[in-house]
Homo-oligomer: A and B are copies of this chain.
């Protein structure tokens, strides 16, 4: 199913050239080492990335027809920020302002399905539990690295602030904590990726194989399993726990 390495290399060249020439061509500072590591490998290239950010968006109420095109970005930070910055940006809201934390996201085109599986496995084991593959029928295979980690808080209505400055301060702290946790996961992802690329063996590639009898996978596999257990994201784990939803965890493919 995979295209030839020549075709893939041509796609890679075209894609990276386009990225360089675009206005959005600069890769976020904090994602650069991950992006470089992947692009140094023949079998991968990144098509988009964001290291994570705190944003304040002002727009018409959700559901209104014009919504999408008519949003204004009052504030964006790729680093932890101060609540003064948020309060100051909020004062410019004239509609509905929403504060969001959006975690690291990365799209990587992969040569073969096995390459995408390896990357997916590393992503899940590093805590990015909303990651997944996209497979087109022309042989384009993409792994999306996504987190369940977020924050989305409406703060104003018709430009009127709905909460006190103290709450905005609390919220900014929360967003900053999530940003720090996001950086820790990115670091874990980078380390796990390095390890996987260095020590990769058929046994390691089989880390996501639930039918292997115990001992069949190598010790690296066991390390991945332990990591995954430790790093399971609370909000997903919570969603598994209770309440009448039949939400079993499909991620046991990786354990």
Contact = CB atoms under 8 A, between A and B. Distances in A.
Contact of A167 (B107, B152, B163, B254): B163
A195 B170 CA distance: 48
A6 interface: no
Interface bin, chain A: 35 or more
Interface string A75-115: 01010000000000000000000001010010100000110
A187 interface: no
B62 A178 contact: yes
A209 B138 contact: yes
Contacts of A174: 62, 154
A47 interface: yes
Nearest to A175: B154
Tallying the copies of this chain within the complex gives 2
Contacts of A17: none
Nearest to A140: B253
A174 to B, nearest CB: 6
A137 B68 contact: no
Interface in A52-69: 53, 57, 62-63, 67-68
A24 B244 contact: yes
A49 interface: yes
The 4 closest A-B pairs by CB, nearest first: A132-B132, A50-B245, A107-B250, A133-B133
